Amino acid sequence: MKKKILCMGSINIDLVMYASKLPRPGETVVTDNFQTFPGGKGGNQAVAASVLGGDVKYFTKLGSDEFSSQLSAAQREKGVFVEDILYVEGETAGIAMIMVDESAQNLILFTPGANQLLTPEDVRNSASVFDGCDILEITMEILPETVYEAIRIAKSKNMTVILDPAPAPKNGIPKEIACMVDYIKPNETEAEILSGVPVIDMDSAIKALKILQDKGFAVPIISLGEKGAVTVSEGSVYLEEPLSVKSVDTTAAGDIFLGAFTAALSSEKAFGECLEYAKTAAALSTTKKGAQASIPTRDEVEAYLNRRDHSE
């Protein structure tokens, strides 16, 4: 039976400019390509998990501005249950200013707005939101204490906890919390902050994975951008080779990886299959612009996987 997913974390409006190159400090680069998209790491993961087959509820705090209404509507439209979201009068939604260059790389500046007003107390007062859910998928553009309280509540209800430590807290994650996390997916920078090992190649990534396990995280998965992903589970190291696609925008690829992974896990797919599904969804998303706007459909992911199976 399909497990129910509760997603938490930031939800933002993304103001995106596409240009031939990213500006250096003091430089102005001109572009006429400006677009807005619904985004935010938590919002992206919720939509990805829903579109890719998950039964998803989203809990967050939004403001009373036009962006806030657009963001909850975008979630609802993609099948996410949004009725538990809290709204703060007079506050704005989170806003991300994103610049993307011709090689699909990006720079992001983020102001959290209502995201940072979700407190541990709010989570305790809304603990009934967790009822009936089996998996918590949570990311960190909200207060770390709020994330930790949500993880404690999820564990007290025997839920599986999936954490995207983005951005990673500079002073690390307390061991008490690490021991409650079933899956954690840092990128190279976040893995370095959490493990103390600069992740520059496969050997250093494997070293960082082992340190993360010693710190209490059961299954760490390090995403390596265009180099794929690497993880260790039950003593075995799994390397997920990257797919070869023509990328135009890598924004949210990590979020879509985790949303797809969570959707696959909720359908009780085996760990290796979840990774394969996640990697494919993330790679396909980079071929389109925007965060939530680039999430591939289930049919697109499955068609890619079937084509690949038949050509092997």
Binding site for ligand RIB (CB under 6 A): 10, 12, 14, 39-41, 44, 96, 108, 110, 141, 251-252, 255, 291
Residues 219 and 223: their CA atoms lie apart, in Å, by: 13
Minimum Å gap between C-beta 213 and ligand RIB is 25
Q: Which of 220, 256, 276, 249 is nearest to 46 (CA)?
A: 256
Q: Which amino acid is at 213?
A: Q
| Residue with smaller CB distance to ligand RIB, 141 or 276 | 141
| Residue with smaller CB distance to ligand RIB, 108 or 127 | 108
255 is catalytic: yes
For residue 119, what are the CA distances in angstroms to 106, 218, 275? 30, 26, 32
Minimum Å gap between C-beta 253 and ligand RIB is 8
Minimum Å gap between C-beta 112 and ligand RIB is 9
Catalytic residue among 134, 164, 249, 255: 255
| Residue with smaller CB distance to ligand RIB, 82 or 96 | 96
Structure tokens at 290: 């925007």
Minimum Å gap between C-beta 96 and ligand RIB is 3
In sequence order, the β-bridge partners of residue 39 are 12
Any residues with CB less than 8 A from the CB of 270 and at least 6 apart, and which?
none
Minimum Å gap between C-beta 290 and ligand RIB is 8
Q: Nearest to ligand RIB by Cβ — which residue?
A: 39
| Residue with smaller CB distance to ligand RIB, 108 or 211 | 108
H helical segments located in 132-270 = 144-156, 175-178, 188-195, 202-214, 253-266
Determine which helix (DSSP H) or strand (DSSP E) holds 50, and give its type and residue range.
helix 41-51
| Residue with smaller CB distance to ligand RIB, 12 or 92 | 12
For residue 35, what are the CA distances in angstroms to 109, 151, 286? 16, 35, 16
Q: Which residues are catalytic?
A: 255
